[in-house]
Amino acid sequence: MKQLRVITEKCTSCIQCELACAFVQTGTFQPSRSVIRVHIFDEQAVYAPYTCFQCDEAWCLTACPVNAIGIDPNTDAKVVMDDVCVGCAVCTVACPYGTMFYNPDSHKAFKCDLCGGDPACVKSCPTGALEYVDMDQPDWLASWADKVNRGFQHMQDE
Amino acid sequence: MSETNTMHGWTGTVLRVNLTTGTITKEPLNAEWARDYVGGRGLGVKYLSEEMDPSVDPLSPENKMIFATGPLTGTNASCGSRYMVVTKGALTNAITTSNSGGFWGPEMKFAGYDMIILEGKAAQPSYLWIYDDRVELREATHLWGKTVWQTEEALRTELGVPDTIIASIGPAGENLVRFACIMNDLHRAAGRSGVGAVMGSKNLKAIALRGTGGVSLADPQAYLEGQWAMKEKLRQSPVTAEGLPMYGTEVLVNVINEHGALPTRNHQQTVFDEAENISGETLTETRLVANKACFSCTIACGRVSTLPGEASSKYSVTTNPQNWKIAGEGPEYEAAWAMGSECGVGDLDALIKANWLCNDLGMDSISFGASVAAAMELFEKGVVSQDETEIPLEFGSAEALVAMAEKTAYRQGFGDAVAEGSKRMTETLGRPEFFMGVRGQEFAAYEARAIQGMGLGYATSNRGACHLKAYTVAAEILGLPRQMDPRATEEKAEITKIFQDATSTVDATGLCQFLTFGVGLEEMLPQLSAATGVPYTLEELVHIGERIWNLERLWNERAGFTGKDDTLPKRILEEPIPSGPAKGEVNRLGEMLPEYYELRGWDKDGIISEAKKKELGLE
């Protein structure tokens, strides 16, 4: 199954991915609605895009009291069913990675659905820092964490 | 506000803050002006022209400041990150349009505003906090005295909103250093002409922004096609796809030096024998840790550098010593020239440190370096002695350069003289011929004797000497869009006018000028029209640029400038270059200026004709 992969070393923090993601959802350029976020650690020169990596054991899905989160059989993405979601936001608390969001206008939860198998963020990235490729396991979180950790380690050492 | 907004591209709302009374108002954007001036530099200049008497003291409450975005600021158009600060320059007494990238301009759009207009002067140190439609003027006594990097950290903690984007002044702006700048996102500067001193004179420390809204498009499908086409062209240009990402603007050091056009030791020479040490190649190989992009930029020319190991403890200063252990940005080409070859300093680590100090203290690194260079010539010629300067201000002294950064920002000792800028400093000391600039603003990094067109561009630049208003280096050195002989004066009047007008339009869209290394107005046009819904034509866009240029010129006329100010220092006009590839050259401004006036539709004294005013709608 294809997974989203983040190669933090290639990211320049331009946030084209956030703009593409927001555009797909809202038809405007509104990064506050993006479900991919670039974390910018200026002092360590680390720019790290970050989004839902579609956990096998998805706590958002488990926590939802009305079973509004399902699994897209084509992509394995965990997706919010708007007509079922009641806007309780329990999923945003359950997600350990902070990649489940709440829309105060529609009162619905929203998250990365991999654009149905053709992620806009991947297409928009000018440096190839995002890929959508076949992987057994999402392998990028470890390298992401490693890089961010090195940034903090660097800060503490000095 | 969104309920009244019928505009696309533009948000349709202007935020006005009177700092004297604390009155905050939101008003609709003048749609007719928006159409005729687009945004950014154009709209800012139009509003300032309509609202303010150009003869006021730039540091008085009567001066206004306009922070202006363009309709493409905040979109995913490549490099749609820019905002423009339009005001009367503290360094120049002329109109200034200082541009910056980063994330601040887009955040202003997301908060719902095309422009912020500041009037008056706050009674006490203050900052402006804007969270969408909530706008508060808050006390900033506790922030006064903090550096830019300290201010950003303190404000984010205080506001409790981690995603806040901040533009602020440092101690240099507070101390009214004539070339103080406004910094945003730590390292991005609205750099030149002293816009930071104007903000300091208003007692405004910072503008903190958080916007959760978006920028809408009139015709999303046409817009998307336009932006993909432009990005594809940028991917194919050797400058925007390879040169700038790999070496940043610093790639120019060796190129310009090889042409004998790198001003050295306050323009006494034009070749720097240590250029290789401060070049983009050396920076990339020894000190670069990452490329950093501004908002939506697919080029990513920003240089993130570090001072590893021993390098961090060279040239000790008292400002934030912990900063030398982390990553910072720069130097860019212009800064590397001003603080490097212009001061005769060939130590890259000193330039990195001085550049970071300029960013953290909030000073324009170009005017700072060039003013130190003028001071070094005053020292060399015995006009000032070590009794006055305290430290030996010798050309080539990295220690002196780094030390002067702090002394200038805090106006300590001889730094108080440097803080006035090199024109005022050299005049006060009786040697005005050592000032290398136009309209009070120091030159940028291109020798006007070796690149004739740049001389005309500097002499006629409305905001004083500047490389960003007519970058004829592109044609004269880099061969874009076609190669021209840098030593010839033929056709330079025409190319200067074309570049000035086109650049004015780019500055009005909200896009970055670096795009023009790979694309032209024709690639920007479809995005601009599709975003705004205004069916602009290419001809109209060029016309808009000419309108902006002439309106700035008219403003300067009202401020007291005449054609006599369209000139260059005696050294550039009369003293031949002593050595190097351009040996023997002077700038032959007299051969270009009359033709330029004629092409512009101005009379022989540089006064805009009534016919030209009418043609441009400027009566």
pLDDT tier for residue B159 given thresholds of 50, 70 and 90: very high
Who among B214, B235, B300 is closest to A14 (CB)? B300
Do B417 and B516 belong to one domain?
Answer: no
| End position of a domain, from candidates B161, B186, B210 | B210
- Residue B302 is predicted with a pLDDT of 93
Unique residue bearing structure tokens 């808009």:
B544
Q: What is the 3-state secondary structure (H, E, C) of B190-233?
A: ECCCCHHHHHHHCCEEEEEEECCCCECCCCHHHHHHHHHHHHHH
pLDDT tier for residue B325 given thresholds of 50, 70 and 90: confident
Spacing of C-alpha B8 from chain mean position: 28
B349 inside domain: yes
Give whole-number Cα distances, B294 to B39, B104, B422, B500, in Å: 19, 10, 31, 24
Do B273 and B350 belong to one domain?
Answer: yes
Contact at 8 Å (CB) between B240 and B517?
yes
Q: What is the pLDDT of residues B296-322, one digit of tens each?
A: 999 999 999 999 888 888 898 888 888
Q: What is the mean pLDDT of residues B347-373?
A: 97
Question: Using the beta-carbon criterion (under 8 Å), do B290 and A155 form an inter-chain contact?
Answer: no
Q: What is the mean pLDDT of residues B230-244?
A: 94
Report the share of chain B in percent with pLDDT over 90. 95
Report the share of chain A in percent with pLDDT over 90. 72
- Residue B362 is predicted with a pLDDT of 98
Do B41 and B100 belong to one domain?
Answer: yes
Question: Measured between beta carbons, which residues in chain A are less than 8 angstroms from residue B307?
Answer: none
Do B371 and B519 belong to one domain?
Answer: no
B55 inside domain: yes
Give whole-number Cα distances, B371 to B212, B336, B339, B428, B465, in Å: 42, 14, 9, 14, 14
The C-alpha atoms of residue B558 and residue B272 are separated, in whole angstroms, by: 41
Domain count, chain B: 3
The C-alpha atoms of residue B42 and residue B84 are separated, in whole angstroms, by: 9
Question: Measured between beta carbons, which residues in chain A are less than 8 angstroms from residue B303?
Answer: none
Q: What is the mean pLDDT of residues B130-140?
A: 98
Query: Of B65-74, B236-245, B313-322, B455-464, which range is least confident?
Result: B313-322
Phi, psi dihedrals of residue B187, rounded to the nearest 5°: -120, -5
DSSP conformation class of B452: H
CATH architecture of A1-51+116-149: 2-Layer Sandwich (3.30)
Task: Convert B592-615 to b/e letters by CB count within 10 Å (16 or more is b).
Answer: bbebbbeebbbeeebebeeebeee
B222 inside domain: no
Q: Is the pLDDT of residue B417 over 60?
A: yes
- Residue A157 is predicted with a pLDDT of 58
- From the options 2.40.50.140, 3.40.30.10, 3.30.70.20, 3.30.70.270, give the CATH code of A54-111: 3.30.70.20
pTM of the model: 0.96
Q: Is the pLDDT of residue A135 over 90?
A: no
Query: Of A86-100, B128-142, B271-285, B310-324, which range is least confident?
Result: B310-324
B238 inside domain: no
Phi, psi dihedrals of residue B518, rounded to the nearest 5°: -120, -25
Q: What is the mean pLDDT of residues B14-35?
A: 98
Instruction: Give the number of other Cβ atoms within 10 Å of residue B56's Cβ.
Output: 15
Do B399 and B494 belong to one domain?
Answer: no
Do B418 and B511 belong to one domain?
Answer: no
Q: Does A6 touch chain B (CB under 8 A)?
A: no
Q: Does A29 touch chain B (CB under 8 A)?
A: yes
The C-alpha atoms of residue B382 and residue B610 are separated, in whole angstroms, by: 50
- Residue B309 is predicted with a pLDDT of 87
Q: Does B218 touch chain A (CB under 8 A)?
A: no
Q: What is the pLDDT of residues A69-127, one digit of tens each?
A: 999 999 999 999 999 999 999 999 999 989 999 999 999 999 999 999 999 999 999 99
What residue of B is the nearest CA neighbor of A9? B290
B536: domain CATH number? 1.10.599.10
Which structure tokens are listed for B584?
């023997």
| End position of a domain, from candidates B411, B437, B463 | B437
In total, chain A counts a number of residues equal to 158
Contact at 8 Å (CB) between B194 and B92?
yes
Unique residue bearing structure tokens 């500055």:
B507
The C-alpha atoms of residue B101 and residue B144 are separated, in whole angstroms, by: 25
Who among A29, A31, A45 is closest to B327 (CB)? A45
Kind of pairing, strands A101-103 and A108-110?
Answer: antiparallel
Spacing of C-alpha A62 from chain mean position: 18
Q: Does B75 touch chain A (CB under 8 A)?
A: yes
User: B397 is in which domain, residue-wise?
Assistant: 245-437
Q: What is the mean pLDDT of residues B488-494?
A: 98
Domain spans of chain A?
Answer: 1-51+116-149, 54-111
pLDDT tier for residue A156 given thresholds of 50, 70 and 90: low
Contact at 8 Å (CB) between B374 and B424?
no
Q: Is the pLDDT of residue B401 over 50?
A: yes
Do B333 and B420 belong to one domain?
Answer: yes
Instruction: Give the number of other Cβ atoms within 10 Å of residue B424's Cβ.
Output: 18
B24: domain CATH number? 3.60.9.10
Q: What is the pLDDT of residues B527-550, one digit of tens each?
A: 999 999 999 999 999 999 999 999
More confident residue, A157 or B43: B43
Do B469 and B590 belong to one domain?
Answer: yes
Rounded to the nearest angstrom, the minimum Cα separation between B577 and chain A is 42
Q: Does B327 touch chain A (CB under 8 A)?
A: yes
| End position of a domain, from candidates B189, B210, B231 | B210
Contact at 8 Å (CB) between B56 and B158?
no
Sign of the torsion angle spanned by Cα atoms A7, A13, A16, A21: positive
Q: Does A34 touch chain B (CB under 8 A)?
A: no
pLDDT tier for residue B2 given thresholds of 50, 70 and 90: very low
Question: Measured between beta carbons, which residues in chain B are less than 8 angstroms from residue A43?
Answer: 326-327
CA nearest neighbour of B396 among B375, B381, B376, B379? B376
**Concatenated DSSP letters of A105-152:** TTTEEE---GGGTS-HHHHH-SSS-EEEEE-SS--HHHHHHHHHHHHH
Q: Is the pLDDT of residue B173 over 50?
A: yes
B428 inside domain: yes
pLDDT tier for residue B323 given thresholds of 50, 70 and 90: confident
- Residue A153 is predicted with a pLDDT of 66
Question: Using the beta-carbon criterion (under 8 Å), do B293 and A12 form an inter-chain contact?
Answer: yes
Question: Using the beta-carbon criterion (under 8 Å), do A31 and B293 form an inter-chain contact?
Answer: no
Question: Using the beta-carbon criterion (under 8 Å), do A29 and B75 form an inter-chain contact?
Answer: yes
N- to C-terminal Cα distance for chain A? 42
Do B309 and B425 belong to one domain?
Answer: yes
Contact at 8 Å (CB) between B504 and B540?
no
- Residue B5 is predicted with a pLDDT of 56
Question: Using the beta-carbon criterion (under 8 Å), do A47 and B292 form an inter-chain contact?
Answer: yes
The upper half-sphere exposure of residue B73, i.e. CA atoms within 13 Å in the direction of its Cβ, equals 37
Q: Is the pLDDT of residue B1 over 50?
A: no
Rounded to the nearest angstrom, the minimum Cα separation between A45 and chain B is 6
Complex ipTM: 0.95
More confident residue, B116 or B619: B116
* Segments of B89-221 assigned E as strands: 95-100, 115-119, 126-131, 134-139, 165-168, 182-184, 188-190, 204-210
More confident residue, A137 or B27: B27
Mutation to test the B interface, candidates A29, A41, A125, A127, most B Cβ within 10 Å: A29
Q: Is the pLDDT of residue A151 over 80?
A: no
Q: Does A28 touch chain B (CB under 8 A)?
A: yes
Unique residue bearing structure tokens 């100090």:
B357
Q: Helix or strand or coil: residue B253? A: helix
Amino acid type, B617: G
B235 inside domain: no
Residues 6 or more apart whose Cβ sits within 8 Å of residue B114: B10, B11, B12, B13, B14, B29, B34, B39, B43, B68, B69
Q: Helix or strand or coil: residue B360? A: helix
DSSP conformation class of B160: T
Q: What is the pLDDT of residues B579-615, one digit of tens each?
A: 999 999 999 999 999 999 999 999 999 999 999 999 9
Q: Is the pLDDT of residue A145 over 80?
A: no
Do B28 and B175 belong to one domain?
Answer: yes
B547 inside domain: yes
The upper half-sphere exposure of residue B203, i.e. CA atoms within 13 Å in the direction of its Cβ, equals 18
Q: What is the pLDDT of residues B49-63, one digit of tens each?
A: 999 999 999 999 999
CB-based burial label for B317 (10 Å; 0-12, 13-18, 19+): middle
Do B407 and B474 belong to one domain?
Answer: no
Q: Does B237 touch chain A (CB under 8 A)?
A: no
Q: What is the mean pLDDT of residues B560-567?
A: 98
CB-based burial label for A45 (10 Å; 0-12, 13-18, 19+): buried
Do B579 and B463 belong to one domain?
Answer: yes
The C-alpha atoms of residue B514 and residue B160 are separated, in whole angstroms, by: 35
Who among B215, B235, B296 is closest to A28 (CB)? B215
Mark residue A19 as left, alpha or beta (left: phi above 0; alpha: psi -120 to 50; beta: remaining).
alpha
Question: CA Rg, chain A, in Å?
Answer: 16
Quote the mean pLDDT of chain B.
Answer: 96
